[in-house]
Amino acid sequence: MTCDIAVLGAGMHAWGKWGRGFAEYGTVAARAALADAGLEWADVQSVVGAATVRGGYPGYVAGATFARALGWQGARVTSVYAACASGAQAVATARAQILAGLADVVLVVGADAAPKGFFAPAGGDRPDDPDWLRFRLLGATNPAYFGLYARRRAALYGDTADDFAQVKVKNAAAGALNPYARYRKPVTAAEVAASPVVADPLRLLDICATSDGAAALVLSGLDYARRRGVPHPVRIRAVSTATPRYPRTELDLPDIATDSAASVPDVPGPPAAFRPSLAEAAYEEAGLGPDDLSLAEVYDLSTALELQWYEDLGLCAEGGGAKLLRDGATALGGRLPVNPSGGLASFGEAVPAQAIAQVCELTWQLRGRAGARQVPDARAGIAANQGLFGHGSAVVAVR
């Protein structure tokens, strides 16, 4: 039995700082996705909303919030929160509904109206919440972790500040070609080096911003797509939402310590790093491997983290990320472009939307409709995200 589902439509609201509510952004993206699919809102049987705690109660019940904004018509609603992996978890929920025969057409929407500056935990005192504790005890904003990852790579593999800067240069060049990106201006390595230090060795231009934005997908079963006259749609072939295994030997948001192998229970199978295990599960489900990919969209919260994803996705050997970048393999026109959308470097974080936006980019690339940033003859792509508390995702799409 195939687990493929069809992507009938993809739509976005441009990223930026617009000063309006997340539901408005999501409605724009949803209508764009429906128009792309050639469907009416009344055709949708289920809405899965990727949730945002910043939207208050409407954000927590995002599925119903978007359905109400579009106009009540009886559709099933679901709301999904998984931090930065919310969008991909919403796609996984939609796929399960379709494969279970609960709906022929599912609309997946994620949107955010993010604050300026660094993200902070939800309000209130929660001493049992590691996300709250790391702020209260350490004052450790997200860039503190990004800086630790960067220093680790420098110590282990010899990565340099210029290597990190070149990731920004690459992604800014791609983002300049994307009409949905917030930042559409090429950047030089010298400009990165001249920007203020945030978390040594990372500078301001090494770290993504927080943004407003939205993305949406219209998903269906393959039989429904054929009945609609779309015999060869872009297909989502795998969605991995695997959790970490003990022991974890790398620092991981929001935890402030790693695990000791001596103090955890025995678990079946060998220890596996979190991000590589996400990719491996997706590859296994899809029946593909890194060599089959045409492009990848990865979670570049910082420039150093993008290099880590190269290795975690199996695009190169451990420690080989900087060389892959220097060789031009991951740039537009390279052997395997990474973040041809421009990535978070060009968009910024709109948390519930970003994993959905990645699948939008895969869809446009696989259709051959990505304009000046098009990857020639794109056949398969992977999108990868990591969220708080062991939430993560990898989505494989093919044509």
Average pLDDT over residues 83-92: 93
Beta-ladder partners of 384: 394
CB contact burial 175-184 (16+ within 10 A = b; e otherwise): bbbbebbbbe
Domain positions in the chain: 5-116+210-227
* pLDDT tens sequence across 11-58: 999 999 999 999 999 999 999 999 999 999 999 999 999 998 888 889
Q: Tokens standing for 33?
A: 């996705």
Q: Which residue has the higher pLDDT, 271 or 288?
A: 288
- Single-letter amino acid, residue 2: T
Which runs of E-coded beta strand occur in the chain?
A: 5-16, 46-50, 76-80, 105-113, 197-199, 202-203, 212-220, 234-240, 295-297, 380-386, 392-398
369: which residues sit within 8 A by CB, 6+ positions away? none
Question: Burial of 261 by CB count in 10 Å (0-12 exposed, 13-18 middle, 19+ buried)?
Answer: exposed
CA-to-CA distance for 17 and 351, rounded, in angstroms? 14
CATH class for the region spanning 5-116+210-227: alpha beta
CA-to-CA distance for 251 and 246, rounded, in angstroms? 13
Of 78, 87, 80, give the one whose Cα is nearest residue 106.
Answer: 78
The angle, 0 to 180 degrees and rounded to 10, between the axes of the packed helices 86-99 and 351-367 is 60
- 3-state SS, residue 210: strand
* Banded pLDDT at 267 (limits 50, 70, 90): low
Radius of gyration of the chain (CA): 20
Beta-carbon count within 10 A of 268 CB: 5
In contact, 181 and 361? CB cutoff 8 Å: no
* Banded pLDDT at 137 (limits 50, 70, 90): confident
Mean residue pLDDT across the chain? 92
In contact, 282 and 396? CB cutoff 8 Å: yes
Q: What is the pTM of this model?
A: 0.94
